[in-house]
Amino acid sequence: MNSNFNTICVIGLGYIGLPTASLLGTKGYNVTGVDVSPKVVDTINQGKIHIVEPDLDILVKSAVNSGNLKASLEPVKADVFIIAVPTPFKENNVPDLSYVEQASKAIAPYIEPGNLVILESTSPVGTTEDYVANILKEAGHDIDKDVFVAHCPERVLPGRILIELVQNDRIVGGINPKSTTVAANFYKEFVSGQVLETDSRTAELSKLTENSFRDVNIAFANELSLICDKENIDVWSLISLANRHPRVNILQPGPGVGGHCIAVDPWFIIDRAPEEARLIKTARLVNDSKPDWVIKKIVEKAEKFKKPTIACLGIAFKADVDDLRESPSVEIVSKLQALDIADVIVCEPNINEHSKFELSTLDNVLTTADIIVVLVDHKEFKTLTAAKLSEKIVIDTRGIVK
């Protein structure tokens, strides 16, 4: 623990803020986590969690029990402020920075000379300077001299958050060189990966670039799946064969790209450079069109029945998480329901209830379904085999049924 920085205030207790706050709590910092939801604040103060992530329950319990983590509806004075709020997009894929704006305004009255303010939320180029630093400046703080402001984008993979929070390399970019150094020294206290220093704008674009790289590569796999369907070739075999080339590493096709990161972040680049970001935009459109293609395939099969029971396996945005944000599977199930051509049932082992979908067990699905659509490669579904499903029509968007 850095002797200069003992107290931390984390704004936003979601998938990034809560793991970060509890990790810092167990490392001996005195942490206050702030969230707008009274329910979230109460849950955490009881040492419990409101999201699913391996081992997070143990970490939060231990940080709260040690007295090093408290949740609150209001910010408090601290040495370091970490902003980890959502940065979604609005209509027309325009970035919505209102949460960053609100968080910056909320902490401004608590900041004192010598404090460090870090924006971890994935943000368009310029956000750290134009929003966070500017708002603090307007509130009367001397951001050129005695308040340090930096961007350090989170890079953790849901499902591996606690490991990657510590082990991943981190990019730290300050609004000036002094801010970069102060922020980098802070991360070096608890990160075992390398802490790489740059400026805030490069740090912002690095994060967007990482997720756009993945989006473009998944779009390539998704496009291949359409080509293979037309050519009547198994896309999974094709990819595994092509990947035997020493310099080819194709990702896996699926029902589309979901989550709050990869399906969103490329738009932050496109919004600022629409003329230049042609490939990035096309990849987004390819991935976004995949759910409708899957629906078309399901409808073709359903037409052979009067009113079939269609079971959709998985509605989370990817394997072994409970996160439904931007999930292509949710889009597919919703649109299927709206078509009213079948009884649509859903099996999602990671959630207990859903306001719009009827949830079934896997056993029930295997008994009642005429058509089985594999949408997520959850571990529970990996036991399914073609032999086991021989009496069903199977549409496997993840290539797990062998």
Residue 191 CB, nearest distance to ligand SAJ (Å)?
14
Look at the block and give the residue holding tokens 């801010």: 179
d(CA 153, CA 310): 41
The answer to whether residues 225 and 251 touch, using CB atoms and an 8 Å cutoff, is no
Question: Between residues 53 and 370, which has the closer beta carbon with respect to ligand SAJ?
Answer: 53
Question: Between residues 252 and 289, which has the closer beta carbon with respect to ligand SAJ?
Answer: 252
Residue 76 CB, nearest distance to ligand SAJ (Å)?
26
The answer to whether residues 208 and 184 touch, using CB atoms and an 8 Å cutoff, is no
How is residue 118 annotated by DSSP? Answer: E
Residue 268 CB, nearest distance to ligand SAJ (Å)?
11
Residue numbers annotated as active site: 207, 261
Helices (H), 232-361: 235-242, 265-272, 278-302, 328-339
User: Quick one: how many helices (H) and strands (E) in the chain?
Assistant: 14, 12
Residue 388 CB, nearest distance to ligand SAJ (Å)?
23
Closest listed residue to residue 63, CA positions, set 34, 26, 29, 17: 26
User: Do the strands 170-174 and 148-151 form a parallel or antiparallel pair, or are they unpaired?
Assistant: antiparallel
Phi, psi of 101 (to 5 degrees): -60, -50
The full length of the chain comes to 402
d(CA 237, CA 235): 6
Question: Between residues 68 and 327, which has the closer beta carbon with respect to ligand SAJ?
Answer: 327
Report the 10 Å Cβ neighbour count for 2. Answer: 15
Question: Between residues 32 and 212, which has the closer beta carbon with respect to ligand SAJ?
Answer: 212
**What are the residues binding ligand SAJ (CB under 6 A)?**
122, 154-158, 210-211, 214, 218, 251-252, 254, 257-259, 261-262, 317-318
Question: Between residues 17 and 258, which has the closer beta carbon with respect to ligand SAJ?
Answer: 258
Residue 49 CB, nearest distance to ligand SAJ (Å)?
18
